[in-house]
Structure 1
Amino acid sequence: MNKLIYLDNAATTKIYPEVAETIHKESVEDFFNPSALYKPSVALSVKIKNARESIKSALKAPDGELYFLSGGSEADNTALFCTRKPKGSKIIVGEGEHDAIINSANQLAMQGFDVRFAPINKDGSINVEEFEKLLDDSVSLVSIMHVSNETGAVNDIAKLVRLTRKHCPKAVFHSDGVQAFGKIKVNLRALDADLYTISAHKIHGPKGIGALFVKKGVSIKPLIYGGGQEKGFRSGTENAPAIIGFAQAVKTCLDNFDADYSKKMIFREQLMTKLVESIDGIEIVSPKENFAPNILTVAFKDVRGEVLLHDIEDYGILVGIGSACSSHHESRFKGLLGLDESHKDGIIRFSTSYENDVNDVDYIVSTIKNSLEKLTAYKRI
């Protein structure tokens, strides 16, 4: 097996070693139920409180609550299903949203809500003009992702919020920030969104833990009922080791943000340049501006992305073909990008982390080029 080059960090990230150590330590030593009344439990509840406050501070959050949930999908479901909205009112979501949003919106449509999908541009960003046309007094909820998990396009959430406030001031605005937080600078006070989703495992934290920020004054009810944890918003015994690990991952990520951002930008630029120089017929799907530094999505000609993925995997290179391999979402999203027939099946998403080395770019490109030549030859036989 060749050296492993992991380029699917938009799917999940390798946990920071210090975070893994913290989670193990907390699991073994602080195994108590945070809701119990004895001193070790009270001390653990203080650790959870401190973790919450540190993440809120990292988000530059306005007045409001940060609720810990099981991950980004639960946070997105909670945002869509649990905001208070009149029956039959209009709900707007982006065409290119994560399946947690799309499928929740489809369920709401079945319940009688007027769900509209805001069109995206070919680079995966929201078409702002078309978005504004959907806004009127009947809109109760808007959900637009901050960064596209498919292309890395960064949406101007602050502008979209301003347009929403202008045309439908009573509407609640949610943004899925799972691919934004830790990758680009996030300032919730500046964005002014009412609800914002984040997830730990996208920033080298543990799986199974995420959070939903709810701005003060937003009317939202729980999705899960029970013992009243998280101030009654999310019942179930708190996953204290994961919560504390989440906060540590946030701190490590942001402490190294500038250096890691620069490293990922250099890797992205080198990879894009050398792919275009070395391989004929390639199309860059990701935007040329307003993009996250860690995602580069390209479309290769006359090849299936899944076949290419498996071929280069044999040489130690792991890439993605989007958020949901071989799923309805994949085929739906490909149709939104406006690619021609020769390119629409050849989408590959490269997503990097601080661990990726720019010195590997030549090997990555040459391996892909050789693989394409081999696969094209097989196709001609």
Structure 2
Amino acid sequence: MSEHVFSTDQTAQIYLDANATTPVLPCIADVVLHTMKTCFGNPSSSHITGIQAKHLLEHTRDQARKVIGAQYGDILFTSGATEGIQTAVVSTLIAAKNHQIEKPVLLYGATEHKAVPNTLSHWNEVLSIHADVLAIPVSNDGILDLDFIAQHAKNALMICTMAVNNETGIYQDLAAIETAIRTHNSDVAWMVDCVQALGKTKLALSETSIDYAPFSGHKLYAPKGIGMLYIREGRVYTPFIAGGGQESGKRSGTENLPGIAGLNKLFELLLDETDSTFKPSRVLNEYRDKLRTALIHTFGKVTFNHQFQNSVPTTLNFCVNELSSKEVMDLFDAAGIRISGGSACSSGANRSFVLDAMGIASWQSENALRLSFGPAMSPSDIDLACERICALKPILQANCLVVSDTLSPQQEACALGLTQYRHQGACSWLFVSESKHAIIIDPIAEMLPRLEKIVSTQSLNLVAILDTHDHQDRISARQLYERTFVSMLSDVKAGQLGWPSNIEKLDLMNATLERIHTPGHSKDSLSYLVRSKKTGKVLYCFCGDLLLPAGLGNSLLAGGDALEMANSLRQLNTFVQNETVICSGHDYQQCFAINWHAQIQQTPLLSALLSGAMSDAEFVTTKQENDAHTITHSASLCGFAATLDEPPLMQVDVTKAKSMLLESDTCLIDTREPYEHDANDLHKFFNLKKEQVINIPLSRMAHALVTGKLEKTHHYILLCRSGNRSKQAANNLAHIGFEHVYNLKGGLALM
């Protein structure tokens, strides 16, 4: 009996993204390294070293047959599942070029990994097959529509399904699919993606009419770059890679013997009934239950996007009801817990196409998270994962992300001053005075749960919910907010865009809020000015979409007028000062904080207008031309923003950063959100005094500028998780006159 586990040191990462890839088991890594050193022969060589290599290759092939239940047919070693898919599709479509079907189709499951439909579409076009590529619909439970398969099977050249879904862990009833296919077409090629099934479900491929089944080693503790393809006996085959004729002429190229040796060891573990490396379903279900309990304990309201009874136990696809997927992922990553948003192969997407196909609600698709573990996970690993997840609850409570059972301490990052909230480029602002009087400007529907929690946990007195204009890109959420906060606003009679009736200025203790009419983007456009009572200066200007960072609002939308915009901009110039922070309704450039001086410098049209270098007529003509181009060529509906020239970025590595931080005028700025910052002890890592570490997330950058947290004479090293947010912040600070800002290259990920 043996147990191959990973370190459970408290400082180690908790890896819960096994569906994306797995670490190589130590015993498999040892075999791979041994093969590189001592069994390195070419299986095609006739000498003893080559014969030994050939024996290992064929023994692995025999082991594979036992694992997947394939007494007959071919086992072909590949570089991974993608190559196996290509091989199966190319073989099938080449054989089908002379088909006699009047309206041929290629079918694939709507929740299939993108490698499948993309491959079908690619080779369908390249080989001029001219078939319709159709997605097989799925139910809300992710189960394939058997009636659809039956309806189209007779015209199908190929049908592609998967055994287990990579995002949700949902498994298909292969026997039922087989009946639906073979009842109507006994000869159509059927490929089943078995990548996520290996080691999690029992396979008996020779007892089915599955024609092709690709597998990938790195999904189950073997190395990357090695996989295999099962081909049913008698099915058509065309080599995808031609050359020296290796693999009996089916796949040329010298075999990846170290990778194959890794598979051999993997198969040995799977077949050894006395070995405890891979846990039985009963234990894996217990693991899932523990993780589910930990998630609910920590986040409260959690929605699971699949039915556990028809999913493998190693996958949990879920949403935290009142948090975005990015917020949860950032928090987990800061705490050393690795999960993913949907599929790792689709991490750039804003939503899950798998959940969309299942008809799951849009908010779930946009905020889906995938927690997955491998079947070799040990009980201690699971317990540590649950412990680490549960330890996040007080951080969430302290940062107003979940409602606490006890009174939360006042957190500046939660309330006081100005905070920006963003959703897909749109900006909403929360301003809170020292007396806890709060104003929400340009409310966004998606941000309501977050703001509701902040108002509640911080005991804020919400005095107004304001729009800067009737937004053309979305329905105003103001009335939704007013209904939510009706008890606070019941005595406030709101007029135009939410401004309290019969009030000229709103008193915010140390400041006042004023409004001025600034039409141009729309007829009803207003700008709101936060003015300091002490200095009389305007601290913030909430201008909606009249101004965008490095750009101007669109004047060709309904109610827009370029001439009125020119007058509004000149009027605004008489109210604000160079250091006034401009707070727009959209921030396509992700500037987060820009002052009036930088706005003028970075917007040539604005600069020319205010300096008198351009007449009103010239401004109108140029503005209308720019807006017409924007509407035609840009997705930025509300205005045009030029791409900013990035100033030379000064980057430092960890060693250089530690050296610089020995100087008294150098500080470390963590640009992550407070809940991420609280999950790490940066003081300890960099051996710094408390005052040398400042947490200024991008959402609070405008507040930091106005409150004097940053001084242009000081040196600042900025960091975040990956170096991307801190790079953006460093560029932004450079644009507004900070000359001594440095970015920690690679962020915490490379420390």
Aligned residue identity for 1:183: K
Aligned residue identity for 1:31: F
- RMSD of aligned alpha carbons: 2.4
The aligned counterpart of 2:679 is none
Shift of 1:11: 0.8
Gaps of 5+ in 2: 1-9, 402-413, 422-450, 455-751
Runs of 4+ aligned residues of structure 1 deviating over 6 Å after TM superposition are none
The equivalent position to 1:72 in structure 2, one of 81, 101, 106, is 81
The change in CA–CA distance for 1:60 and 1:372 in structure 2 (over 3 A counts) is same
Alignment of 1:219-368 (within 5 A): 219-255=236-272, 256=276, 259-276=279-296, 279-323=299-343, 324-328=345-349, 331-353=352-374, 354-356=376-378, 357-360=381-384, 362-367=386-391
Once the two structures are superposed, residues 118-169 of structure 1 have per-residue CA deviations (whole angstroms, 9 ceiling, x without a partner) of 012234332333333332x221211101000010001111221221111111
The equivalent position to 1:30 in structure 2, one of 26, 32, 39, is 39
Alignment of 1:107-146 (within 5 A): 107-110=122-125, 111=128, 112-135=130-153, 137-146=154-163
**What is the CA–CA distance in structure 2 between the aligned matches of 1:3 and 1:342, rounded to whole Å?**
33
The answer to whether residue 14 in structure 2 is matched with residue 5 in structure 1 is yes
Once the two structures are superposed, residues 31-73 of structure 1 have per-residue CA deviations (whole angstroms, 9 ceiling, x without a partner) of 2221122221122112111110111111111411100000011
Aligned residue identity for 2:109: G
- Contact 1:302 1:346 (8 Å CA) reproduced: no
SS in 1 for 2:196: coil
The change in CA–CA distance for 1:302 and 1:77 in structure 2 (over 3 A counts) is farther
Gaps of 5+ in 1: none
Once the two structures are superposed, residues 14-47 of structure 1 have per-residue CA deviations (whole angstroms, 9 ceiling, x without a partner) of 1111111111111111222211222211221121
**What is the CA–CA distance in structure 2 between the aligned matches of 1:197 and 1:138, rounded to whole Å?**
24
The answer to whether residue 120 in structure 2 is matched with residue 105 in structure 1 is yes
The aligned counterpart of 1:187 is 204
The equivalent position to 2:175 in structure 1, one of 155, 158, 164, is 158
Report 1 or 2 for greater relative contact order, CA contacts < 8 Å, sequence distance ≥ 6. 1
SS in 1 for 2:198: coil
Aligned residue identity for 1:270: K
**What is the CA–CA distance in structure 2 between the aligned matches of 1:173 and 1:318, rounded to whole Å?**
35
**What is the CA–CA distance in structure 1 between the aligned matches of 2:310 and 2:354, rounded to whole Å?**
20
Aligned residue identity for 2:325: G
The change in CA–CA distance for 1:4 and 1:143 in structure 2 (over 3 A counts) is same
The equivalent position to 1:18 in structure 2, one of 24, 27, 33, is 27
- Contact 2:19 2:219 (8 Å CA) reproduced: yes
Larger radius of gyration: 2
**What is the CA–CA distance in structure 1 between the aligned matches of 2:134 and 2:350, rounded to whole Å?**
17
Compare 54-63 and 205-214 and name the one that shifted more. 54-63
State the identity %.
27
Compare 104-113 and 358-367 and name the one that shifted more. 358-367
Once the two structures are superposed, residues 199-222 of structure 1 have per-residue CA deviations (whole angstroms, 9 ceiling, x without a partner) of 111111111000000011101211
Name whichever structure is richer in helix by fraction. Answer: 1
Compare 173-182 and 247-256 and name the one that shifted more. 247-256
SS in 2 for 1:296: strand
| TM-score where L is the length of structure 2 | 0.48
SS in 2 for 1:298: strand
- Contact 1:284 1:298 (8 Å CA) reproduced: yes
Name whichever structure is richer in strand by fraction. Answer: 2
Alignment of 1:39-54 (within 5 A): 39-54=48-63
Shift of 1:269: 1.5
- Contact 2:40 2:49 (8 Å CA) reproduced: no
The change in CA–CA distance for 1:109 and 1:62 in structure 2 (over 3 A counts) is same
**What is the CA–CA distance in structure 1 between the aligned matches of 2:119 and 2:352, rounded to whole Å?**
18
**Length, aligned pairs only:** 380
SS in 1 for 2:309: coil
Compare 73-82 and 141-150 and name the one that shifted more. 73-82
Aligned residue identity for 1:287: Q
The answer to whether residue 207 in structure 2 is matched with residue 198 in structure 1 is no
**What is the CA–CA distance in structure 2 between the aligned matches of 1:370 and 1:251, rounded to whole Å?**
45
The change in CA–CA distance for 1:41 and 1:362 in structure 2 (over 3 A counts) is closer
The change in CA–CA distance for 1:131 and 1:305 in structure 2 (over 3 A counts) is farther
- Contact 1:154 1:291 (8 Å CA) reproduced: yes
Shift of 1:326: 3.0
The change in CA–CA distance for 1:331 and 1:297 in structure 2 (over 3 A counts) is closer
The change in CA–CA distance for 1:181 and 1:340 in structure 2 (over 3 A counts) is same
SS in 1 for 2:366: coil
Aligned residue identity for 1:358: I
The change in CA–CA distance for 1:232 and 1:368 in structure 2 (over 3 A counts) is farther
**What is the CA–CA distance in structure 1 between the aligned matches of 2:139 and 2:396, rounded to whole Å?**
28
The answer to whether residue 231 in structure 2 is matched with residue 214 in structure 1 is yes
The change in CA–CA distance for 1:115 and 1:375 in structure 2 (over 3 A counts) is farther
The answer to whether residue 107 in structure 2 is matched with residue 92 in structure 1 is yes
Once the two structures are superposed, residues 281-331 of structure 1 have per-residue CA deviations (whole angstroms, 9 ceiling, x without a partner) of 421112231221211111222433233212211111111212224335954
